[in-house]
Amino acid sequence: MLWLGGCDALALTAGQDGLDVLVAESTGQPVPAPPRRPFTASKAFAATELPHLASTRDTRDRMDLVTDDVPVGATQLRADRIVYHPGDTAAAHYHSGCHHVYCVLAGAGLLYADDQAYRLAAGMSALIRPGEVHWGENDQADNFSFVEFWAPPPTGTVWTVSGDQCTWATVS
């Protein structure tokens, strides 16, 4: 992953096996750095340097792209890459105070929101509003992968079915 400080655009490049690189770049006039953080030219991370987590509920895996554990200095955005293997599902939940955007990289799956199922496929995006109950499912034979963004970062996740929640464990 390459991160350019003060970026005003994001570009995703997906290869046959999913996310290859996420590039944040300036497409116009430089965006001034916040007063307390100096402008940094760039930072590059190999996939092996990014936090990698596994679901404790099913076989999903997650690579953190923009979090407190990935030192890019972003405070108003969080992002990760998720892979749902065939049959994987997330638990119904919602986030308060943040918008949640899915950008599908590969495969197809279902996004449940607003009491409806939406078929998402590579190249599509979806927006979840603050407080909207949602979850995903891979009902296909191939992996379903996407990058998800939160803006601003969620302050918490509320699981809506008692005893059913998703947690993540660090992959060593």
- DSSP per position, 104-163: EEESEEEEEETTEEEEEETT-EEEE-TT--EEEE--SSS-EEEEEEEESPPS-EEESBTT
Q: What is the pLDDT of residues 52-67, one digit of tens each?
A: 999 999 999 999 999 8
Angle of CA points 47, 50, 52, to nearest 5°: 95
Backbone φ/ψ region at 77: left (φ over 0), alpha (ψ -120 to 50), beta: beta
Which CATH number applies to 51-170? 2.60.120.10
59 against 72, higher pLDDT: 59
**Structural domain boundaries in the chain:** 51-170
Q: 70: pLDDT confidence band, cut at 50, 70 and 90? A: confident
Residue 50: pLDDT over 70: yes
More confident residue, 19 or 114: 114
Reported pTM: 0.75
Query: Which pLDDT score, from 0 to 100, does residue 26 have?
Result: 47
Q: What is the pLDDT of residues 85-136, one digit of tens each?
A: 999 999 999 998 999 999 999 999 999 998 899 999 999 999 999 999 999 9
Distances (CA, A) of 135 to 82, 97, 110, 111, 170: 13, 17, 8, 6, 22
Query: Is residue 19's pLDDT more than 90?
Result: no
pLDDT band at 4 (very low <50, low <70, confident <90, very high): very low
Range 17-36 average pLDDT: 53
Per-residue pLDDT at 86: 98
Q: Judge contact between 105 and 81, C-beta under 8 A.
A: yes
Question: What's the whole-number mean pLDDT along residues 40-58?
Answer: 85
Are 30 and 87 in contact, with CB atoms under 8 Å apart?
A: no
C-alpha separations of 84 from 17, 62, 146 in Å:
13, 9, 9
8-state DSSP, 92? P
Determine the pLDDT at residue 36.
57
